[in-house]
Amino acid sequence: MKIQAKINRSIIIEFFILTAGSVITAAGVYFFKMPNHFSMGGFSGLSILLAELFSINTSLLVTVLNLLSLAVGFLFLGWGVGGKTIYCTLLYTGMVNVFEWIYPIDAGTTLTGEVVLELVAASLLGAVGAGLLFKCGGSTGGTDIIALVLRKFTSADISFCMMIADGLIVAASFFVFDVKTGICSIIGMLIKTSLVQTVVDSLNRRKSLIIITTAPHEIVTYITETLHRSATIWDAQGAFTDTDRAVIFSAMTTYQAAKLRDFAKTVDEHAFVTINKTSEIYGKGFLPFGRN
């Protein structure tokens, strides 16, 4: 029952993270990218360019292009597209249209009137949204699905191809709009790219601990029964004192690490504790292999 409850809790948390990531991404696109014509790559950037060239509603183009990418994904990959990607793509495109219905923004108008603020907001929301989605292995479709299809049928370097495609979209903004918009698009893309990994690392941040102690039983019992984590123990000998010691290794959240540190001090005042920050721990209770 405990295992089932933990699984259900993990599914619910993942669902909320995917939902938050999709909504935040949609907010960044609608409220900041579209009004300022920030074309930072991807289908949102392509939609902004095409909307300007052919006088088509941008939200409509975002919806059509993403639904087309889903259709292409189903055609060539079937359910290999992934349930998370389907959910996030539909929610993302739906929220862009909901935002437009709730708060329509006329062409040429922005929320703040400050380009720098709008650029920072667009980049931050894009990075946070993408980071939340990557955390759970989801995406808002678009170029991600096209990349999966290309990966299935070609040996080309997909990451390089997608980078070139995004670069072309950004470059096109110089000609479709103006130099100012093009420069903002480049800066925004660079900011978002650099921040996404920071967001992912922050969400995955954990602590690994090594404890050298003469009270291994008490500490391990606390780890397993109070913190509900596991640990590995091995025998060691002090180089200076030649005294037998136990070395305990464990990994856990920052909050749990602080509690364990304080507990270790109460049962062994001579315990030696090292705590290290880490954002990549793979295995049971942490990240599954194949996802970062």
Residues 140 and 154 in one domain: yes
Classify residue 39: in a domain, yes or no: yes
pLDDT band at 2; cut points 50, 70, 90: low
Distance CA 137, CA 144 (A): 12
Classify residue 292: in a domain, yes or no: no
Residues 127 and 256 in one domain: no
- Give the per-residue pLDDT at 142: 79
Residues 46 and 165 in one domain: yes
Classify residue 152: in a domain, yes or no: yes
**What are φ and ψ of residue 151, in 5° steps?**
-65, -30
- Give the per-residue pLDDT at 167: 86
pLDDT band at 80; cut points 50, 70, 90: low
Residues 222 and 132 in one domain: no
Classify residue 290: in a domain, yes or no: no
Residues 92 and 141 in one domain: yes
Question: Which CATH number does the domain housing residue 249 bear?
Answer: 3.30.70.120
Classify residue 256: in a domain, yes or no: yes
Q: Is residue 94 pLDDT above 70, yes or no?
A: yes
158-185: pLDDT as tens digits: 667 777 888 889 999 999 999 999 999 9
215-230: pLDDT as tens digits: 999 999 999 999 989 9
Alpha-carbon radius of gyration of the chain: 24
CA 291 to chain centre: 11
Classify residue 169: in a domain, yes or no: yes
Q: Is residue 200 pLDDT above 80, yes or no?
A: no
Between 118 and 192, whose confidence is greater? Answer: 118
Q: Is residue 281 pLDDT above 80, yes or no?
A: no
Distant-in-sequence, close-in-space partners of 184: CB < 8 Å, separation ≥ 6:
36, 38, 115, 119
- Give the per-residue pLDDT at 175: 93
- What CA–CA distances, in Å, run from 85 to 82, 140, 157, 219? 5, 6, 22, 42
Residues 69 and 159 in one domain: yes
Burial 240-273 (b: 16+ CB within 10 A, else e): eeeeebbebebbbeeebbeebeebbeebbeebeb
What is the pLDDT averaged over residues 33-44?
A: 91
Classify residue 286: in a domain, yes or no: no
Q: Domain ends where: 203, 229, 247?
A: 203
- Give the per-residue pLDDT at 16: 93
Q: Hey, is 232 helix, strand or coil? A: strand
Distant-in-sequence, close-in-space partners of 159: CB < 8 Å, separation ≥ 6:
none
Query: Tokens for 131?
Result: 């980071």
Residues 146 and 11 in one domain: yes
Distance CA 163, CA 287 (A): 27
Residues 155 and 132 in one domain: yes
Contact between 211 and 220 under an 8 Å Cβ cutoff? The reply is: no
Residues 39 and 124 in one domain: yes
Classify residue 285: in a domain, yes or no: no
What's the total number of domains in the chain?
2
Q: Domain ends where: 171, 203, 235?
A: 203
Residues 120 and 11 in one domain: yes
User: Environment class of residue 165 by beta-carbon count within 10 Å: exposed (0-12), middle (13-18) or buried (19+)?
Assistant: middle
Query: Tokens for 116?
Result: 């720098």
Distant-in-sequence, close-in-space partners of 46: CB < 8 Å, separation ≥ 6:
39, 65, 169
Query: What is the DSSP code (8-state) at residue 282?
Result: B
pTM over 0.85, yes/no:
no
Contact between 249 and 198 under an 8 Å Cβ cutoff? The reply is: no
Residues 7 and 29 in one domain: yes
What does the mean pLDDT of the chain come to? Answer: 85
Residues 152 and 61 in one domain: yes
Residue 149's nearest CA partner among 257, 68, 250, 211 is 68
- Give the per-residue pLDDT at 28: 95
Parent domain of 239 = 206-278
> In the beta sheet, which residues pair with residue 237?
244
Contact between 252 and 227 under an 8 Å Cβ cutoff? The reply is: yes
Q: Is residue 76 pLDDT above 80, yes or no?
A: no
Q: Domain ends where: 183, 203, 223?
A: 203
